[in-house]
Amino acid sequence: QVQLVESGGGLVQPGGSLRLSCAASGSIFSINAMGWYRQAPGKQRELVATITSTGSTNYADSVKGRFTISRDNAKNTVYLHMNSLKPEDTAVYYCNPFRDGVGLYPSGYWGQGTQVIVSS
Tens digit of each residue's pLDDT (9 = 90 or more) over 64-91: 999 999 999 889 999 999 999 999 999 9
Q: Are strands 67-72 and 57-59 parallel, antiparallel or unpaired?
A: unpaired
Tens digit of each residue's pLDDT (9 = 90 or more) over 12-52: 999 999 999 999 987 667 778 999 999 999 999 999 999 99
- Virtual torsion, Cα 69, 50, 17, 41, nearest 10 deg: -160
Q: What DSSP element (H or E) covers 46?
A: strand 46-51
Q: Are strands 114-118 and 10-12 parallel, antiparallel or unpaired?
A: parallel
Task: Return the pLDDT at 106.
Answer: 87
